[in-house]
């Protein structure tokens, strides 16, 4: 069938619109990343200058603290660039696909040993046919498990549930940590938002998770549990191996 001219124009307009939005988002992210890298960079330069000055004045023993501060700044930059590199690699990664169950197993394998007194409970109502790009989703699951483990500070329970319904597959990560301030439920997903102590968080994990999930036309949200802790829920549209809509649900 020959497409209606108006329809063709509309769809190319909306593709154009989407590309513009992506560029705007990219520009914004580039600005934020440059800012976040520039802060430690300024500090490193200042501390190195101080170290040089005290060494020139023959007080080399005072340089140690300045050099340590410089190293801390560099470590922060390394963490940020490493996380961004893992993200861009997972975007470019091979189009290898796997079921959610396989991807979750892989994420759990990579993250072991977790240590501490943390119990992980798996509750899977599986659909064996839906397949998703493995690299990006493995990264999402690793981030969510790591965050839950961090939140529980060495003691607690993480329950991971996979649930299939007519249109979606849902993976929920429910922890027994302290939860978060309810007004921050969206802020958590902003790049560089972190409440972790210096030297631990970059604030990029959840922003990257949301981006990867939205690229798969899914959603990710954070909620506090009524009985304490929080739940991060990933919802993905159901697709079978041939990329078609869901038919019959085969629960295991």
| 148 forms part of the interface with ligand ADP (CB under 6 A) | yes
Asked whether position 156 contacts ligand ADP by CB under 6 A, the answer is no
Q: Does 177 bind ligand ADP (CB under 6 A)?
A: yes
- For the bound state, the minimum distance from the C-beta of residue 205 to ligand ADP, rounded and expressed in Å, comes to 3
- By CB under 6 A, tell whether 176 contacts ligand ADP: no
**What's the CA gap between 214 and 118, in Å, rounded?**
30
Residue 203 is a binding residue for ligand ADP (CB under 6 A): yes
Residues 6+ apart with CB under 8 A from 132: 97, 98, 99, 100, 103, 216, 236, 239
Please identify, using beta-carbon distances, which residue of 206 and 236 lies nearer to ligand ADP: 206
Could you count the other beta carbons within 10 Å of the beta carbon of residue 213? 18
Stretch of residues binding ligand ADP (CB under 6 A), selected from 60-68, 123-131, 175-183, 210-218? 175-183
Question: Nearest 5°: phi and psi at 193?
Answer: -80, 120
Could you say whether residue 139 binds ligand ADP (CB under 6 A)? no
Count of helix runs (H) and strand runs (E) in the chain: 5, 7
- For β-strands 219-224 and 155-164, DSSP reports them as unpaired
- Regarding 230 and contact with ligand ADP (CB under 6 A), the answer is yes
Residue from the set 180, 185, 219, 233 that interacts with ligand ADP by CB under 6 A: 180
Q: What are phi and psi of 173, to 5 degrees?
A: -110, 105
Residues forming the site for ligand ADP (CB under 6 A): 143, 147-148, 151, 175, 177, 179-180, 188, 193-196, 201-207, 230
């Amino acid at each position: 069938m020959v497409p209606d001219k108006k329809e063709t124009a509309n769809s190319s307009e909306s593709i154009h619109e989407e590309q513009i939005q992506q560029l705007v988002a990219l520009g914004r992210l580039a600005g934020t990343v440059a800012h976040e890298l520039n802060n430690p960079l300024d500090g490193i330069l200042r501390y190195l200058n101080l170290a040089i000055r005290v060494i020139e004045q023959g007080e080399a023993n005072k340089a140690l603290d300045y050099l340590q501060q410089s190293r801390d700044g560099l470590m922060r930059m390394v963490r940020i660039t490493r996380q961004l590199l893992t993200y861009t690699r997972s975007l470019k990664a091979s189009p290898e696909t796997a079921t959610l169950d396989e991807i979750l197993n892989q994420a759990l394998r990579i993250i072991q040993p977790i240590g501490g007194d943390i119990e992980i409970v798996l509750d899977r109502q599986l659909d064996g046919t839906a397949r998703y790009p493995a690299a990006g989703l493995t990264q999402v699951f690793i981030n969510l498990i790591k965050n839950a483990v961090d939140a529980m500070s060495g003691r607690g329970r993480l329950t991971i549930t996979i649930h299939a319904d007519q249109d979606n597959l849902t993976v929920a990560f429910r922890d027994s940590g302290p939860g978060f301030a309810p007004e921050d439920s969206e802020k958590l997903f902003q790049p560089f938002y972190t409440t972790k102590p210096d030297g631990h968080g970059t604030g990029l994990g959840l922003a990257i998770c949301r981006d990867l999930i939205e690229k798969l036309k899914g959603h990710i949200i954070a909620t506090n549990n009524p009985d304490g802790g929080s739940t991060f829920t990933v919802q993905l549209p159901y697709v079978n191996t041939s990329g078609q809509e869901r038919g019959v649900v085969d629960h295991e």
